[in-house]
Amino acid sequence: MDRRTSLKWMLAASAALPLWNPRARGADGQAAPVTGGYGTDPDLLKTYRRGELWPLLLDAAQRRTASALCDVILPGDERSPGAVAVGVVDFLDEWISAPYPRQLEDRPVMLEGLAWMDREARRRFGQPFADLRDAQQRAICDDICREEKVQPAYADAARFFGRYRDLTAGGFYSTPVGRQDIGYIGNVPQVNFAGPPPEVLRKLGLEPAT
C-alpha cells in the first residue's frame, strides 16, 4: 500500500471515529478543542516517500505485535481478508506517528499498550505476543476486552485495547474491502433510489412510507 493511500485512510478515519467512539469526545459530547499548530497538512494528490512527512515510529518488533493483535480483532474469513491483509498496520503506524493533537494523545497509549502485550505474553507464556498460539493470544485479550468489567490491574491495558480495537475497525472499514464487507454503497451512481429498506426503517422506529 502506498503512503498516500494510508494518509487518506488516516484522515477519513480521523473524521469518522469521533462520531461513533465516545472516548474520542469530551464529557459533554463535543469534540475536544485543537490547540497549537502542527505545520502544513499533506497534499493528498501527491505521492510521498516513506518518512518524508514524518518519521514512522513502529519498529519491526512493534509491527509484529500490532499485526498479531489486528489478526485477533479482525481476522480474515471466507467473507473478506483480515485487517492485516488490507494494510491496517500501515494505517496504525501513520496514525500514531502523525503530529496532530488526537494522534499525539493516542501515541503513548498505543506504544505502551503494544509493549504491555509483549510483557504480559512473556509473563504468562514465555514468548512475545506474536509468537503465541491463537488460544493464548485470545486468553490475554479476553482479560482486557471489556473496559467496564476489567480487573483493576488491567485498567490501563483495557483502555489501550479499546482504543486499538476502535482504530483497527476504523482503518479496516475505511478501505474498499471494509466498505464492501458491511454493504456500504455510498458514492456509487445508481439509476434510481427506492429509499431505505423497510427493515432498516423499522429498526429505527420509523414506519415505511406507503
Averaged in consecutive runs of 10 residues, what is the pLDDT profile of the chain (210 residues)?
A: 53 51 42 55 78 88 98 90 92 93 94 98 98 97 93 95 95 85 75 82 78
SS3 state at 25: strand
The CA angle 76-81-86, to the nearest 5 degrees, is: 120
Q: What is the reported pLDDT for 165?
A: 96
Across 143-166, b (16+ Cβ under 10 Å) vs e yields bbbebeebeeebeebbbbbbbbbb
Q: What is the reported pLDDT for 17?
A: 53
**Residue 199 corresponds to which cell in the numbers above?**
427493515
Identify the CA nearest to 83 among candidates 174, 193, 191: 174
Quick check: 68 and 129 in contact, CB under 8 A? yes
Q: What is the reported pLDDT for 20?
A: 42
What's the distance, Cα to Cα, between the start and end of the chain in Å? 47
202: left (phi over 0), alpha (psi -120 to 50) or beta: alpha
Quick check: 10 and 95 in contact, CB under 8 A? yes
> CA-to-CA distance for 157 and 192, rounded, in angstroms?
48
Q: What is the reported pLDDT for 199?
A: 87
Q: What is the reported pLDDT for 206?
A: 86
C-alpha dihedral (164, 165, 166, 172), degrees to nearest 10 = 110
Q: What is the reported pLDDT for 138?
A: 97
Whole-model pTM: value is 0.72
Across 6-24, b (16+ Cβ under 10 Å) vs e yields bbebbbbbbeebbeebeeb
Q: What is the reported pLDDT for 30?
A: 43
